Protein backbone atom coordinates (compact mmCIF):
# COMPACT_ATOMS: atom_id res chain seq x y z
CA UNK A 1 0.00 0.00 0.00
CA UNK A 2 1.05 3.60 -0.52
CA UNK A 3 0.07 6.67 1.42
CA UNK A 4 -0.16 9.76 -0.73
CA UNK A 5 0.36 12.90 1.32
CA UNK A 6 -1.41 16.14 0.40
CA UNK A 7 0.58 18.52 -1.83
CA UNK A 8 3.28 20.32 0.19
CA UNK A 9 2.56 18.29 3.34
CA UNK A 10 4.70 19.35 6.30
CA UNK A 11 7.74 17.23 7.16
CA UNK A 12 6.38 16.60 10.67
CA UNK A 13 3.15 15.13 9.25
CA UNK A 14 5.17 12.86 6.98
CA UNK A 15 7.35 11.79 9.93
CA UNK A 16 4.30 11.08 12.09
CA UNK A 17 2.71 8.77 9.52
CA UNK A 18 6.07 7.08 8.87
CA UNK A 19 6.66 6.37 12.55
CA UNK A 20 3.18 4.92 13.06
CA UNK A 21 3.84 2.48 10.23
CA UNK A 22 7.27 1.55 11.56
CA UNK A 23 5.97 1.13 15.13
CA UNK A 24 3.69 -1.55 13.67
CA UNK A 25 6.72 -3.49 12.46
CA UNK A 26 6.52 -2.47 8.80
CA UNK A 27 9.10 -0.82 6.57
CA UNK A 28 8.60 2.48 4.78
CA UNK A 29 9.94 3.88 1.55
CA UNK A 30 9.69 7.64 1.03
CA UNK A 31 9.43 9.09 -2.45
CA UNK A 32 9.59 12.87 -2.21
CA UNK A 33 8.38 14.50 -5.42
CA UNK A 34 8.26 18.23 -6.19
CA UNK A 35 4.77 18.64 -4.72
CA UNK A 36 3.70 15.32 -3.32
CA UNK A 37 5.40 12.84 -1.00
CA UNK A 38 4.45 9.19 -1.24
CA UNK A 39 5.07 6.81 1.66
CA UNK A 40 5.34 3.21 0.49
CA UNK A 41 4.54 0.51 3.03
CA UNK A 42 6.42 -2.78 2.84
CA UNK A 43 5.33 -5.82 4.83
CA UNK A 44 2.14 -7.36 6.10
CA UNK A 45 -0.27 -4.43 6.01
CA UNK A 46 -2.88 -6.29 8.07
CA UNK A 47 -0.69 -5.30 11.04
CA UNK A 48 -1.95 -1.76 10.46
CA UNK A 49 -5.61 -2.68 10.62
CA UNK A 50 -6.19 -0.99 13.97
CA UNK A 51 -4.69 2.22 12.63
CA UNK A 52 -6.80 4.48 10.51
CA UNK A 53 -4.03 6.43 8.86
CA UNK A 54 -6.55 8.43 6.86
CA UNK A 55 -7.43 10.47 9.93
CA UNK A 56 -3.93 11.92 10.15
CA UNK A 57 -3.27 15.47 9.03
CA UNK A 58 -2.32 15.90 5.46
CA UNK A 59 -2.90 12.30 4.32
CA UNK A 60 -4.57 12.64 0.93
CA UNK A 61 -5.32 9.03 0.06
CA UNK A 62 -4.31 5.43 0.69
CA UNK A 63 -3.92 3.20 -2.32
CA UNK A 64 -3.53 -0.57 -2.29
CA UNK A 65 -0.54 -1.92 -4.24
CA UNK A 66 -1.59 -5.36 -5.37
CA UNK A 67 1.66 -6.21 -7.20
CA UNK A 68 4.14 -8.24 -5.13
CA UNK A 69 7.04 -5.98 -6.19
CA UNK A 70 6.99 -2.71 -4.29
CA UNK A 71 10.36 -0.93 -4.55
CA UNK A 72 10.45 -1.58 -8.31
CA UNK A 73 6.86 -0.37 -8.63
CA UNK A 74 6.04 2.97 -10.21
CA UNK A 75 3.31 3.49 -7.61
CA UNK A 76 6.00 3.60 -4.91
CA UNK A 77 8.32 5.80 -6.94
CA UNK A 78 6.56 7.78 -9.68
CA UNK A 79 9.69 9.64 -10.87
CA UNK A 80 11.87 7.73 -13.36
CA UNK A 81 15.07 6.34 -11.84
CA UNK A 82 18.36 7.36 -13.43
CA UNK A 83 21.18 4.86 -13.00
CA UNK A 84 24.77 6.07 -13.29
CA UNK A 85 27.35 3.71 -14.74
CA UNK A 86 30.57 5.60 -14.27
CA UNK A 87 29.57 8.99 -15.65
CA UNK A 88 26.95 7.60 -18.05
CA UNK A 89 23.33 8.21 -17.03
CA UNK A 90 20.78 5.58 -18.07
CA UNK A 91 17.11 6.52 -17.92
CA UNK A 92 17.46 10.23 -18.69
CA UNK A 93 17.46 12.08 -22.00
CA UNK A 94 20.32 10.10 -23.57
CA UNK A 95 19.83 6.86 -25.51
CA UNK A 96 22.71 4.82 -24.09
CA UNK A 97 24.41 2.25 -26.30
CA UNK A 98 26.42 -0.60 -24.77
CA UNK A 99 28.45 -2.65 -27.18
CA UNK A 100 31.29 -5.13 -27.36
CA UNK A 101 32.00 -8.79 -27.94
CA UNK A 102 29.85 -11.59 -26.61
CA UNK A 103 33.02 -13.04 -25.07
CA UNK A 104 36.33 -11.40 -24.32
CA UNK A 105 38.69 -13.64 -26.32
CA UNK A 106 42.03 -11.89 -25.99
CA UNK A 107 43.50 -8.47 -25.21
CA UNK A 108 43.85 -7.42 -28.85
CA UNK A 109 40.26 -8.33 -29.78
CA UNK A 110 38.85 -6.42 -26.82
CA UNK A 111 40.96 -3.29 -27.23
CA UNK A 112 40.24 -3.09 -30.97
CA UNK A 113 36.52 -3.42 -30.23
CA UNK A 114 36.60 -0.84 -27.45
CA UNK A 115 38.25 1.77 -29.70
CA UNK A 116 35.90 1.01 -32.60
CA UNK A 117 32.69 1.28 -30.61
CA UNK A 118 33.88 4.43 -28.91
CA UNK A 119 34.65 6.00 -32.29
CA UNK A 120 31.16 5.08 -33.48
CA UNK A 121 29.62 6.81 -30.43
CA UNK A 122 28.86 3.98 -27.98
CA UNK A 123 28.81 4.85 -24.26
CA UNK A 124 29.59 1.59 -22.42
CA UNK A 125 31.78 -1.44 -23.27
CA UNK A 126 30.33 -4.90 -22.72
CA UNK A 127 32.25 -8.18 -22.73
CA UNK A 128 31.59 -11.59 -21.23
CA UNK A 129 34.30 -13.33 -19.22
CA UNK A 130 32.11 -15.88 -17.39
CA UNK A 131 30.08 -17.29 -20.25
CA UNK A 132 26.88 -19.21 -19.46
CA UNK A 133 27.13 -21.46 -22.54
CA UNK A 134 24.47 -23.98 -23.48
CA UNK A 135 27.14 -26.66 -23.97
CA UNK A 136 29.87 -27.33 -21.38
CA UNK A 137 32.26 -27.93 -24.31
CA UNK A 138 31.87 -24.39 -25.70
CA UNK A 139 34.31 -21.59 -24.77
CA UNK A 140 33.59 -20.70 -21.14
CA UNK A 141 35.36 -17.33 -20.91
CA UNK A 142 38.69 -15.92 -19.71
CA UNK A 143 37.45 -15.17 -16.18
CA UNK A 144 39.74 -12.89 -14.14
CA UNK A 145 42.24 -12.43 -16.99
CA UNK A 146 39.34 -11.18 -19.11
CA UNK A 147 38.31 -8.79 -16.33
CA UNK A 148 41.80 -7.30 -16.35
CA UNK A 149 41.48 -6.71 -20.13
CA UNK A 150 38.12 -5.03 -19.54
CA UNK A 151 39.71 -2.71 -17.02
CA UNK A 152 42.57 -1.97 -19.40
CA UNK A 153 40.07 -1.17 -22.19
CA UNK A 154 38.20 1.13 -19.84
CA UNK A 155 41.38 2.98 -18.92
CA UNK A 156 42.42 3.24 -22.58
CA UNK A 157 39.08 4.55 -23.89
CA UNK A 158 37.34 6.07 -20.87
CA UNK A 159 34.29 3.85 -21.50
CA UNK A 160 32.70 2.32 -18.36
CA UNK A 161 32.48 -1.49 -18.54
CA UNK A 162 29.83 -4.11 -17.83
CA UNK A 163 30.40 -7.86 -17.34
CA UNK A 164 28.09 -10.74 -16.60
CA UNK A 165 28.52 -12.54 -13.28
CA UNK A 166 27.36 -16.11 -12.78
CA UNK A 167 28.46 -16.93 -9.23
CA UNK A 168 29.45 -15.35 -5.93
CA UNK A 169 33.15 -15.86 -6.80
CA UNK A 170 32.57 -14.04 -10.10
CA UNK A 171 30.95 -11.13 -8.25
CA UNK A 172 33.86 -10.96 -5.80
CA UNK A 173 36.32 -10.73 -8.70
CA UNK A 174 34.25 -8.47 -10.96
CA UNK A 175 33.71 -5.73 -8.35
CA UNK A 176 37.45 -5.02 -8.53
CA UNK A 177 37.33 -4.30 -12.28
CA UNK A 178 33.91 -3.29 -13.61
CA UNK A 179 31.40 -0.44 -13.37
CA UNK A 180 28.26 -2.53 -13.76
CA UNK A 181 27.35 -6.16 -13.10
CA UNK A 182 25.18 -8.07 -15.55
CA UNK A 183 22.83 -10.80 -14.41
CA UNK A 184 22.10 -12.90 -17.47
CA UNK A 185 18.82 -14.36 -18.67
CA UNK A 186 19.68 -17.80 -17.30
CA UNK A 187 20.23 -16.43 -13.81
CA UNK A 188 17.32 -14.00 -13.64
CA UNK A 189 15.69 -16.11 -10.95
CA UNK A 190 18.90 -17.09 -9.16
CA UNK A 191 17.69 -15.30 -6.05
CA UNK A 192 20.90 -15.85 -4.14
CA UNK A 193 22.91 -14.22 -6.94
CA UNK A 194 20.43 -11.33 -7.14
CA UNK A 195 20.83 -10.64 -3.42
CA UNK A 196 24.62 -10.83 -3.62
CA UNK A 197 24.66 -8.45 -6.61
CA UNK A 198 22.37 -6.18 -4.62
CA UNK A 199 24.79 -6.09 -1.70
CA UNK A 200 27.65 -4.78 -3.87
CA UNK A 201 25.86 -1.48 -4.54
CA UNK A 202 27.23 -1.51 -8.11
CA UNK A 203 24.66 -0.84 -10.86
CA UNK A 204 23.09 -4.09 -12.08
CA UNK A 205 21.92 -4.86 -15.60
CA UNK A 206 19.16 -7.41 -15.14
CA UNK A 207 18.31 -9.36 -18.25
CA UNK A 208 14.87 -10.84 -18.68
CA UNK A 209 14.76 -14.63 -18.24
CA UNK A 210 14.19 -16.77 -21.33
CA UNK A 211 10.66 -17.65 -20.21
CA UNK A 212 10.03 -15.01 -17.56
CA UNK A 213 6.89 -12.93 -17.38
CA UNK A 214 7.27 -9.20 -16.83
CA UNK A 215 5.92 -9.72 -13.33
CA UNK A 216 8.62 -12.30 -12.52
CA UNK A 217 11.26 -9.99 -14.00
CA UNK A 218 10.16 -7.08 -11.81
CA UNK A 219 10.15 -9.37 -8.77
CA UNK A 220 13.75 -10.30 -9.65
CA UNK A 221 14.58 -6.58 -9.70
CA UNK A 222 12.85 -6.30 -6.31
CA UNK A 223 15.39 -8.81 -4.88
CA UNK A 224 18.27 -6.53 -5.90
CA UNK A 225 16.62 -3.32 -4.70
CA UNK A 226 15.51 -4.85 -1.41
CA UNK A 227 19.12 -5.90 -0.79
CA UNK A 228 19.86 -2.17 -0.65
CA UNK A 229 20.74 -1.44 -4.26
CA UNK A 230 18.33 0.79 -6.21
CA UNK A 231 20.61 0.94 -9.30
CA UNK A 232 18.90 -1.57 -11.52
CA UNK A 233 18.59 -1.37 -15.32
CA UNK A 234 16.30 -3.90 -17.02
CA UNK A 235 17.27 -5.49 -20.32
CA UNK A 236 14.74 -7.09 -22.69
CA UNK A 237 16.64 -9.75 -24.67
CA UNK A 238 13.87 -11.76 -26.27
CA UNK A 239 11.77 -14.61 -24.92
CA UNK A 240 11.04 -18.20 -25.95
CA UNK A 241 8.09 -18.56 -28.30
CA UNK A 242 7.03 -21.08 -30.96
CA UNK A 243 8.82 -19.01 -33.63
CA UNK A 244 12.07 -20.47 -34.92
CA UNK A 245 13.09 -17.91 -37.57
CA UNK A 246 14.86 -15.96 -34.82
CA UNK A 247 16.77 -17.25 -31.80
CA UNK A 248 14.20 -15.67 -29.46
CA UNK A 249 11.25 -13.33 -30.01
CA UNK A 250 11.90 -9.71 -29.10
CA UNK A 251 9.02 -8.67 -26.86
CA UNK A 252 8.98 -5.03 -27.87
CA UNK A 253 5.80 -4.50 -25.88
CA UNK A 254 7.79 -5.06 -22.70
CA UNK A 255 9.20 -1.54 -23.15
CA UNK A 256 5.91 0.37 -22.74
CA UNK A 257 4.68 -2.21 -20.20
CA UNK A 258 7.77 -1.67 -18.02
CA UNK A 259 7.45 2.09 -18.43
CA UNK A 260 3.88 1.81 -17.10
CA UNK A 261 4.63 -0.51 -14.19
CA UNK A 262 8.09 0.55 -13.06
CA UNK A 263 10.37 3.55 -12.65
CA UNK A 264 13.46 1.53 -13.64
CA UNK A 265 15.24 2.20 -16.93
CA UNK A 266 14.91 -0.44 -19.65
CA UNK A 267 17.27 -1.19 -22.51
CA UNK A 268 16.87 -3.69 -25.36
CA UNK A 269 19.33 -6.30 -26.65
CA UNK A 270 18.34 -7.11 -30.25
CA UNK A 271 21.47 -9.26 -30.72
CA UNK A 272 20.40 -12.05 -28.35
CA UNK A 273 16.73 -11.44 -29.18
CA UNK A 274 17.19 -12.36 -32.84
CA UNK A 275 20.48 -14.23 -33.11
CA UNK A 276 20.77 -12.83 -36.65
CA UNK A 277 22.89 -9.76 -37.41
CA UNK A 278 20.71 -8.69 -40.35
CA UNK A 279 17.80 -8.00 -38.01
CA UNK A 280 19.71 -6.04 -35.40
CA UNK A 281 19.43 -2.62 -37.03
CA UNK A 282 15.67 -2.56 -37.58
CA UNK A 283 14.96 -3.92 -34.10
CA UNK A 284 17.31 -1.35 -32.56
CA UNK A 285 15.27 1.35 -34.28
CA UNK A 286 12.02 -0.27 -33.11
CA UNK A 287 13.29 -0.41 -29.52
CA UNK A 288 14.31 3.23 -29.48
CA UNK A 289 11.01 4.25 -31.07
CA UNK A 290 9.12 2.25 -28.42
CA UNK A 291 10.82 4.28 -25.68
CA UNK A 292 13.80 2.14 -24.63
CA UNK A 293 16.48 3.99 -22.66
CA UNK A 294 19.26 2.26 -24.53
CA UNK A 295 20.55 -0.75 -26.43
CA UNK A 296 23.02 -3.58 -26.00
CA UNK A 297 24.63 -4.66 -29.28
CA UNK A 298 27.25 -7.38 -29.81
CA UNK A 299 30.23 -6.42 -31.99
CA UNK A 300 33.41 -8.25 -33.02
CA UNK A 301 36.47 -7.36 -35.15
CA UNK A 302 35.71 -10.42 -37.31
CA UNK A 303 32.36 -12.05 -36.45
CA UNK A 304 33.18 -15.03 -38.71
CA UNK A 305 35.78 -16.25 -36.21
CA UNK A 306 34.04 -15.20 -32.97
CA UNK A 307 34.21 -17.84 -30.24
CA UNK A 308 30.66 -17.03 -29.19
CA UNK A 309 27.57 -15.58 -30.92
CA UNK A 310 29.31 -14.72 -34.21
CA UNK A 311 26.10 -14.94 -36.32
CA UNK A 312 24.48 -12.11 -34.35
CA UNK A 313 27.60 -9.94 -33.92
CA UNK A 314 28.12 -6.83 -36.03
CA UNK A 315 31.41 -5.89 -37.67
CA UNK A 316 32.72 -2.43 -36.84
CA UNK A 317 31.41 -1.05 -40.16
CA UNK A 318 27.98 -2.52 -39.51
CA UNK A 319 27.98 -1.03 -36.01
CA UNK A 320 28.90 2.40 -37.34
CA UNK A 321 26.12 2.13 -39.89
CA UNK A 322 23.65 1.21 -37.13
CA UNK A 323 24.70 4.20 -35.00
CA UNK A 324 24.29 6.48 -38.02
CA UNK A 325 20.79 5.12 -38.62
CA UNK A 326 19.81 5.67 -34.98
CA UNK A 327 20.96 9.29 -34.73
CA UNK A 328 18.12 10.99 -36.68
CA UNK A 329 15.54 8.81 -34.93
CA UNK A 330 16.88 9.65 -31.49
CA UNK A 331 16.90 13.36 -32.41
CA UNK A 332 13.31 13.10 -33.66
CA UNK A 333 12.34 11.72 -30.25
CA UNK A 334 13.94 14.75 -28.61
CA UNK A 335 16.74 12.71 -27.05
CA UNK A 336 20.53 12.66 -27.28
CA UNK A 337 22.87 9.87 -28.20
Among 3, 102, 104, 206, which residue interacts with Mn ion (rule: CB under 5 A)?
A: 102
Q: Give the one entry of ligand PEP, Mn ion, none that residue 196 binds, where binding means its C-beta sits below a cut-off of 5 to 8 angstroms depending on kind.
A: none
Among 4, 72, 122, 185, which residue interacts with ligand PEP (rule: CB under 6 A)?
A: 185
Q: Give the one entry of Mn ion, ligand PEP, none that residue 114 binds, where binding means its C-beta sits below a cut-off of 5 to 8 angstroms depending on kind.
A: none
Bridge partners of 97, per DSSP, are: 295
Which range, of 17-25, 27-35, 96-104, 273-281, touches Mn ion by CB under 5 A? 96-104
Separation of alpha carbons 214 and 262, rounded Å:
10
| Subset of 204-233 contacting ligand PEP (CB under 6 A) | 207
Is 162 one of the binding residues for Mn ion (CB under 5 A)? no
Q: Give the one entry of ligand PEP, Mn ion, none that residue 123 binds, where binding means its C-beta sits below a cut-off of 5 to 8 angstroms depending on kind.
A: none
Burial of 55 (0-12, 13-18, 19+ CB in 10 A): exposed
Residue 121 CB neighbours (<10 A) = 15
Phi, psi of 139, deg, nearest 5: -55, 125
Separation of alpha carbons 88 and 105, rounded Å:
26
The alpha carbon of residue 95 and the mean position of all alpha carbons in its chain are separated, in whole angstroms, by 13
The alpha carbon of residue 186 and the mean position of all alpha carbons in its chain are separated, in whole angstroms, by 15
Is 164 one of the binding residues for ligand PEP (CB under 6 A)? yes
How big is the chain, counted in residues? Answer: 337
Q: Are 160 and 154 in contact (CB under 8 A)?
A: yes
Site string for Mn ion, 103-142 (x = CB under 5 A): ----------------------------------------
| Subset of 82-141 contacting ligand PEP (CB under 6 A) | 102, 128, 132
Phi, psi of 218, deg, nearest 5: -70, -30
Is 237 one of the binding residues for ligand PEP (CB under 6 A)? yes
User: Where is 148: in which H helix or E strand?
Assistant: helix 143-157
Separation of alpha carbons 65 and 17, rounded Å:
18
For 214-270, give the DSSP string.
HHHHHHHHHHHHHTT---EEEEE--B--S--SSSSB--TTHHHHHHHHBSS-EEE-H
Which range, of 65-73, 80-88, 184-192, 325-333, touches ligand PEP by CB under 6 A? 184-192
Which range, of 27-35, 224-232, 285-293, 303-311, touches Mn ion by CB under 5 A? 303-311
Closest approach, Cβ 131 to Mn ion, in A, equals: 8
Among 105, 222, 269, 309, which residue interacts with Mn ion (rule: CB under 5 A)?
A: 309
Positions that interact with ligand PEP (CB under 6 A): 102, 128, 132, 164, 184-186, 207, 237, 272
Positions that interact with Mn ion (CB under 5 A): 102, 309
Amino acid sequence: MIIVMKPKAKQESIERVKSIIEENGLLTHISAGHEVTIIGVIGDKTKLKEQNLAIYDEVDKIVDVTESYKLANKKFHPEPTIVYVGNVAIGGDTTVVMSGPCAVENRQQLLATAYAIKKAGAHILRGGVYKPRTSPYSFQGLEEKGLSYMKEAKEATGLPVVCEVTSLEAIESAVKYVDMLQIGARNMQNFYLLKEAGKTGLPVLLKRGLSATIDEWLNAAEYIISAGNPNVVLCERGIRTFETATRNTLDISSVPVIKTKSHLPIIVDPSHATGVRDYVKSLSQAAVAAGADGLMIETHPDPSIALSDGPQSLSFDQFEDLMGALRPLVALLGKKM
